[in-house]
Amino acid sequence: MDPECARLLPALCAVLADPRQPVADDTCLEKLLDWFKAVTEAGSSLLLLQEHPCLVELLFHALRAQDLSPRTLSFALRLAGVFAAQENCFQHLQQGELLPGLFGEPGPLGAAAWVAPSVRSGWIQGLRSLAQHPSALRFLANSGAVDTIFSLQGDPSLFVASAAGQLLVHILDLAMREPAEGRVCPQAWDWPVCARKIVCHLEDCLRSDAAPRVTQALHVLTTTFGHCHGLWTQGLWVQLSPLVACLLEKDPMPAPHTLVDLLLSVARSSVPSSDPGLWETVAQTLSRLSPTQAGPLAAGILKLQDCPQALRIQAFNVLLQPLACVLEAATQAPATPGLLEGAAGDLMAVDTLPPSKSACVGLLCSALAHLELLQPLPQRPSPWPQAPLLAAAVTILRFCNGSAAPSSEAGGRLCTMLVGCVRVQRAALDFLGVLSQGLGPQELVTQVFAVLLEYLMSPDSSPMVLKKAFQATLRWLLSSAMPPGCCDLEPCAQLVLGELLAMLQKRLCSPCWEVRDSGLEFLTQVTRHWGGQASFRQVLLASELPELTRQLLQDPESYVRASAVAAVGQLSSWGLLAAPSSPEQPAIPQETPLEALLLILTTDSEGFPRRAVMRVFTEWLRDGHAEVAEDPERFVAQVLRAAGKDGDWEVRVQGLELALVFLERLLGPRGSSAAAPPSVTARALRALCQVQLFEFAFRSLFDCDRPVAQKSCDLLLFLRATATPPGSPQEAGDRPNVASVEAALRRWRAGEQGQPLGELAPEAILAVLRSMDLEALRDTLAKSSDHVERSPQSLLQDMLATVGVLGDNEADCY
Amino acid sequence: MEQRNGFMGHFQYCLSGHPTLPCNVLKFKSTTIMLDCGLDMTSTLNFLPLPLVQSPRLSSLPGWSLKDGNAFLDKELKECSGHVFVDSVPEFCLPETELIDLSTVDVILISNYHCMMALPYITEHTGFTGTVYATEPTVQIGRLLMEELVNFIERVPKAQSASLWKNKDIQRLLPSPLKDAVEVSTWRRCYTMQEVNSALSKIQLVGYSQKIELFGAVQVTPLSSGYALGSSNWIIQSHYEKVSYVSGSSLLTTHPQPMDQASLKNSDVLILTGLTQIPTANPDGMVGEFCSNLALTVRNGGNVLVPCYPSGVIYDLLECLYQYIDSAGLSSIPFYFISPVANSSLEFSQIFAEWLCHNKQTKVYLPEPPFPHAEVAVNMLTQDVSLSLLINTLHFQYGAQFIVYFCFIDWLIQTNKLKHYPSIHGDFSNDFRQPCVVFTGHPSLRFGDVVHFMELWGKSSLNTVIFTEPDFSYLEALAPYQPLAMKCVYCPIDTRLNFIQVSKLLKEVQPLHVVCPEQYTQPPPAQSHRMDLMVDCQPPAMSYRRAEVLALPFKRRYEKIEIMPELADSLVPMEIKPGISLATVSAVLRTKDNKHVLQPPPRPTQPTGGKKRKRASDDIPDCKVLKPLLSGSIPVDQFVQTLEKHGFSDIKVEDTAKGHIVLLQEAETLIQIEEDSTHIICDDDEVLRVRLRDLVLKFLQKF
């Protein structure tokens, strides 16, 4: 502890102990506690208490005072726990009867303060901190604290109840850790008293008819098997599994969701290796739960690395069942391959779907979501029924837009429930998108594109559904590239693309801005991937899309303008924004894309379009866009001038990114250790001076927004390393006059940004760069802006200042 | 006081087969009420268009001849792109006139301006002498629609009238759809302006929630239906029976005044008509589609033609376009509204315009302006007292939108965003500039200025015709214009209730029975799997079709009867149970104007002198000496004890399904005791019977 903190500590303890002095807020106490934790982790707690008796006095005061505020009392309990985590300090406090006082009957437990949830929470957290050693275990066993924890499991405050459960797990783990060492699996009669007591309690709860008690026990066990990895957990399962099995037999099954959590937690632990019977229990549970309840269990099982194949098949069938029902509902001929071939017929009956719309929709959505998460996993079921899943997703989407004909009355009910259901549409489109990772029979792929087109063309598709349809379509188009990585599309996808672009024209004219936005995003993506492909170019150029995109640069909605900027950037990169000309309409001289985007950068009132312009310009410079390549220096100068004046820090950061790309073009890529040859450097520096990059970079160095300054610092460091490698002697002779530069920089640092840097010679730049301690600046910038204010000393001062102890000491601003 | 009424039936005569152009006659209590008077104009699709300007193409169409080459119909029927059309003045399919004598109709209730187009046929040609009830906006806009229709047809006089093809034997030989057209013999030409004026003069204006008494028996009340300006649903009720007539209603918030659902509760019968004609199309999506296609066409240098009525959806479209045109870069595109009634249509806005434009700063209170452009209207209103009064009245009756609509249209005109003309002739031809957007009628494409634009723009693929009115099949409407190069877009905008909304509405108002056109009780033929596209209620809806008579199911059959105060004074109620008293009444029931009154019976006049004169009271039935009324029940055990006390022995009691039988074996007598009767069966022993009767009576109360 630094001397200044040590000096302030007694005053602070006095303030905390004084009920008339209001403590600033809980955040201060939390910070203080964090600091004490750090101090005790770094050294001896006992020593700390001995050196600062005010701390023990504070704890004693908490024990005695009746009028201490709940938050201070809670703090004292947690602080005592932090100190007592070290066994010698625990004993020290134990001798002073402080711990029994704070955590036993004489303390807050029996006092009026106990009604405050914060005090009960502090009590639990204090015990949680001190329960680290055998002495603590004995203390817990003898003080009756464990019984109190049992009762706190049912506390009205959910935070307290949850913390109580976790504390039980912690105590159980602590108790079992030592005797279990070196043994394969200790028997129940070998367990320490404290552990036996907790396990007995859990057994009682599991036998109880009161659902909340069963749930509490299941929560504790779930946490235990999830967090404790000792072999003793296997013994615990042996002891408790019959009771869990009894729960599964009950009708109705109590707390089914919590039971599922427990079984999954046990399945992920080391228990299965010692108790193969677990799988049987899980299988029984799967078959007993309703489809909605069984979904999470099935998904959990399928994510396990190692479990019996039969169980995996059973679990997979649970997830597939709703989709199989959908397929069955639309299937005219029974011979159509289904999802659950070989399974019992009744599993597939459409009647097994919940009768209410909300339950049915919920079941379908969760099944789709589980399968979506499962698809990319290496341990996903194999063989993966790609074709039937595709068919199911397509059928669901068809039911949702009313184009699928049900084959039975039950199917008709399903159709009625799904028609127009946006929730299912979204889930099915997401799932369909994920399925693009696998192949499918050509006929089905054609159906996929057809249904996606239906959604994209339908005036009834909501903007969100449309966005999902665009995303899924893009994924399917990408997966249709043949061979993988090649930019040519399959003939089927080519056909689709033609229809897509026609549809896109209409979408870009939609009165709904979200639709225009999604449409532009899609156009940007497809152009990025197929802008070089002849057939795509032909279709695109024959359409109105380039012109429409250009017009959308003036859209009233800033998000749309930003997306239009990205689309124009992409179209222009591929030379797809040529001015329209036809015999009837001779080409009217239009502003070039570069001019149009520069106008947005300098005049648009919203940040999004300007940021988008900067991203496009950076890309253009990097990729050598034709219009940029004509005169890159002029381009960079224009852009940096605009970005330097921009009020949006992200635009300025992007300006520095563009400057960096320019530097790399001149000096070679970053990361290469070799310094550029002097001739290259000289040429580069002249170019940099010409585009006034230094003025922009130096100003950015003192930017009030830290990310801008950091980026600038990185840029200048790169420049210095490349242009003036370490050890390179400064050229003898004329030392350039850098005084004026340094004076300007000083003023800029002081916040006077008005004065320009003026004409700079490359030599002067190099000299300034050499003279600047950029590394130190980088380190300073790397620290968060409040690093000074976050010191413990500052914290103590603040807390004291709040109550006026420090007089006119200035409070830090957060 | 109520009286069980077991003799009166309620019937509905269904005169129209078109679910959104209904015409039903309700016989309710002793009144005959016609519900709406819709005119099915789809019959005009069988006719050739009436071009405003001579069309070489249409006039040179070949005549149609039978397969055997017989060409006797070639003057009446012309062939165009494989379709056959009647070359004559278009005719309309009238409501059924033979099912019921329409001269007996007492009143006609109109629910909205689209449902009154057959009114002149009914009021002028059937001997109708009753009254028509409708709200003011309905009448105003209905008049515009009729005027426009008459004008469209009269301004292109056609000498030829075709009737040969209507001969049943000949019609059989014609190709579809002429062959399948129904009731062609009843099709009639359009009415005249004189008939329109005469029909409209029979209308009595009503306001929402106004209660109108019909002959003392029935009360009718219009309720806001939220579909169009002035549109109403109707409550038809007696004291104990209530029929709700729901026709053309909307729950969309963009409409004039929210639909009044609460008043529809507790109906015995709810007649449901006028649901959306395009249940699969969401109006919002369609408006979006409309805007997108419009923008795409004009950006590409093409013209857009929107066939429409002079009122209704056009307002919604203009409103959406107003928000959209600037953002879509269409500010320079002219929008033309061409209709012979364009001026009248804007009458309201012109009235307002005189007062509005000077002081734009003063605002008049308009609660919750429902549209973005409401602000425009609000800003234009002044503090002029008479105007405020007018605004308040209109606002109170029809919602803020009534004013906002017209202010908005006026604003569009003032700012030159919308230009209106009565016809393509005159000023329009001077101002006409392309590319442009033209709103004009008629949506059937058979008459009106739209015919000219179809001929003018049909040859270029740059142009687009966008169908927004759902009343006509767009493919059939386009048939006489084929081959057609211009793009056709179908964006039907129908804001009326869809089946999901109906389902919610029925759950909310819970009528005992629902009656609806048969089309609503099964999915549309083209989508037979869509079970969601039908009315789903319990008990299942009763359906009707054209020319069918339906007996309406009423559970409660009571009449309210008033008791004259002096008669009420003379009553002596006896409490037979706590809270329930009974009294016997001797009175005369007088029924006049469907009101029933119990009057004291006339006192018998004393004979004067010795002359035997005919008594005045001979007119009324004799009042016999009244026997007391009995009530209560007979406890069998106590009754048996009483019998024993009175010397009867050998008594046996048997339980029966309805009560008990007390058997006096010695006396060979049976006493059947049931809940509402007791019979003493003995052999001609009157003394014994009377004795036993008196014992039974001891257990009963008399009054």
Of the candidates A402, A512, A551, the beta carbon closest to that of B280 is on A402
* DSSP secondary structure of B531-597: TTSS---SSPPEEE-TTEEEE---S--EEEEEE-HHHHHH---EEEETTEEE-----EEEEETTEEE
| DSSP symbol at B498 | -
Confidence at B123, pLDDT banded by 50, 70, 90 = very high
pLDDT in tens, A34-90: 999 999 998 899 999 999 989 989 998 888 877 788 888 999 999 999 999 999 999
Which chain A residue has its CA at the smallest distance from B492's CA?
A: A459
Cβ distance B320 to A406 less than 8 Å, yes or no, reads no
Confidence at A805, pLDDT banded by 50, 70, 90 = low
pLDDT at A761: 76
Of the candidates B300, B326, B327, the beta carbon closest to that of A544 is on B300
A398, A415, A416: best to mutate for the B interface, most B CBs within 10 A: A416
For A668, A772, A795, the CA distances from A713, given in Å and listed in that order, are 18, 11, 31
How many C-beta atoms lie closer than 10 Å to residue A507's C-beta? Answer: 25
Cβ distance B529 to A544 less than 8 Å, yes or no, reads no
What is the Cα–Cα distance from A487 to A529, expressed in whole angstroms?
7
Cβ distance B292 to A509 less than 8 Å, yes or no, reads yes
Confidence at A725, pLDDT banded by 50, 70, 90 = low
Which of B335, B394, B395 minimizes the C-alpha distance to B369? Answer: B395
Confidence at B103, pLDDT banded by 50, 70, 90 = very high
Indicate the pairing of strand B701-702 with strand B659-664.
unpaired
pLDDT at B321 over 70: yes
pLDDT at B421 over 70: yes
Q: Considering chain A, what percentage of its residues have pLDDT values greater than 70?
A: 86
The answer to whether B281 contacts chain A (CB < 8 Å) is yes
A587/chain B closest Cα distance in angstroms: 15
B490/chain A closest Cα distance in angstroms: 11
* DSSP secondary structure of B19-84: TTS--EEEEETTEEEEE----BGGGGGGB----SS--HHHHTPPBP--TT---TTTTTEEEETTEE
Confidence at B572, pLDDT banded by 50, 70, 90 = confident
pLDDT at B617: 44
Put simply, whether the predicted model's pTM sits higher than 0.90 gets the answer no
Spell out the residues 6+ positions from residue A243 whose beta carbon is closer than 8 angstroms to its own: A203, A206, A207
**Structure token pair of residue B205:** 């204006």
**Which residues of chain B are within 8 Å of residue A460 when distances are taken between CB atoms?**
280-282, 285
- A791 vs A394 pLDDT, higher one: A394
What is the Cα–Cα distance from A548 to A568, expressed in whole angstroms?
10
What is the Cα–Cα distance from B456 to B212, expressed in whole angstroms?
51
CA B56 from centre of chain: 44
pLDDT at A670: 78
- A525 vs A178 pLDDT, higher one: A525
pLDDT in tens, B233-247: 999 999 889 999 999
**Which residues of chain A are within 8 Å of residue B487 when distances are taken between CB atoms?**
none
Cβ distance A509 to B327 less than 8 Å, yes or no, reads no
Please answer whether residues B19 and B520 qualify as being in contact, where contact means their C-beta atoms are separated by less than 8 angstroms.
yes
Which of B402, B403, B397 minimizes the C-alpha distance to B210? Answer: B397
Question: Which has the minimum average pLDDT: A782-791, B192-201, B569-578?
Answer: A782-791
**Which residues of chain A are within 8 Å of residue B530 when distances are taken between CB atoms?**
402, 415, 419
**Which residues of chain A are within 8 Å of residue B325 when distances are taken between CB atoms?**
none
pLDDT at B388 over 70: no
**Which residues of chain B are within 8 Å of residue A585 when distances are taken between CB atoms?**
301
pLDDT in tens, A221-260: 999 999 998 888 888 998 899 999 999 888 888 889 999 9
pLDDT at B627: 67
pLDDT at B411: 66
Give the long-range contacts of residues A442-445, CB within 8 A, separation 24 or more. A442/A492, A444/A387, A444/A390, A444/A391, A444/A394, A445/A390, A445/A476, A445/A480, A445/A492
User: What number is the average pLDDT over the span A517-532?
Assistant: 94
- B645 vs A439 pLDDT, higher one: B645
* B448 three-class SS: coil
What is the Cα–Cα distance from B425 to B416, expressed in whole angstroms?
20
pLDDT at A521 over 70: yes
pLDDT at B386: 42
ipTM of model: 0.75
Question: Average per-residue pLDDT in chain A?
Answer: 85
Of the candidates A406, A459, A461, the beta carbon closest to that of B286 is on A459
- B364 vs B392 pLDDT, higher one: B392
Q: Which helix (H) or strand (E) holds B243?
A: strand B242-247
Confidence at B361, pLDDT banded by 50, 70, 90 = very low
User: What number is the average pLDDT over the span A759-764?
Assistant: 75
HSE-up of residue A555 (Cα within 13 Å, Cβ side): 27
pLDDT at A128: 95
| Beta bridge partner(s), residue B560 | B2
Confidence at B325, pLDDT banded by 50, 70, 90 = confident
Cβ distance A544 to B296 less than 8 Å, yes or no, reads yes
pLDDT at A179: 57
Cβ distance A510 to B532 less than 8 Å, yes or no, reads no
The answer to whether B529 contacts chain A (CB < 8 Å) is yes
Question: Which has the minimum average pLDDT: A13-27, A476-490, A648-662, B31-45?
Answer: A476-490
Please answer whether residues B662 and B651 qualify as being in contact, where contact means their C-beta atoms are separated by less than 8 angstroms.
yes
**Interface residues on A facing B, Cβ-Cβ cutoff 8 A:** 402, 404-406, 412-413, 415-416, 419-420, 458-461, 505-507, 509-512, 515, 544, 547-548, 551, 554-557, 585
Chain B, 319 to 338: residues with Cβ < 8 Å from chain A are: 320, 323-324, 326-329
Cα maximum dimension of chain A = 102
pLDDT at A483: 54
**Which residues of chain A are within 8 Å of residue B295 when distances are taken between CB atoms?**
509
B280/chain A closest Cα distance in angstroms: 9
Dihedral sign computed on CA atoms, order A715, A716, A720, A723: positive
**Which residues of chain A are within 8 Å of residue B328 when distances are taken between CB atoms?**
509, 511
What is the Cα–Cα distance from B488 to A260, expressed in whole angstroms?
57
What is the Cα–Cα distance from B181 to B27, expressed in whole angstroms?
30
pLDDT at B369: 35
What is the Cα–Cα distance from B320 to B144, expressed in whole angstroms?
23
pLDDT at A804: 64
For A318, A321, A590, A610, the CA distances from A599, given in Å and listed in that order, are 58, 57, 13, 10
Measured in degrees and rounded to the nearest 5, phi and psi for residue B80 equal -145, 115
Of the candidates B293, B491, B532, the beta carbon closest to that of A419 is on B532
Cβ distance B299 to A544 less than 8 Å, yes or no, reads yes
pLDDT in tens, A138-174: 888 888 889 999 999 999 999 999 999 999 999 999 9
pLDDT in tens, B68-102: 778 788 889 999 988 999 999 999 999 999 899 99
Question: Average per-residue pLDDT in chain B?
Answer: 83
| DSSP symbol at B1 | -
pLDDT at B387: 42
Of the candidates A416, A505, A585, the beta carbon closest to that of B532 is on A416
What is the Cα–Cα distance from A326 to A371, expressed in whole angstroms?
15
The answer to whether B287 contacts chain A (CB < 8 Å) is yes
Which chain B residue has its CA at the smallest distance from A505's CA?
A: B296
**Which residues of chain B are within 8 Å of residue A405 when distances are taken between CB atoms?**
529
The answer to whether B285 contacts chain A (CB < 8 Å) is yes
A345/chain B closest Cα distance in angstroms: 24
Confidence at A588, pLDDT banded by 50, 70, 90 = low
pLDDT at A109: 76
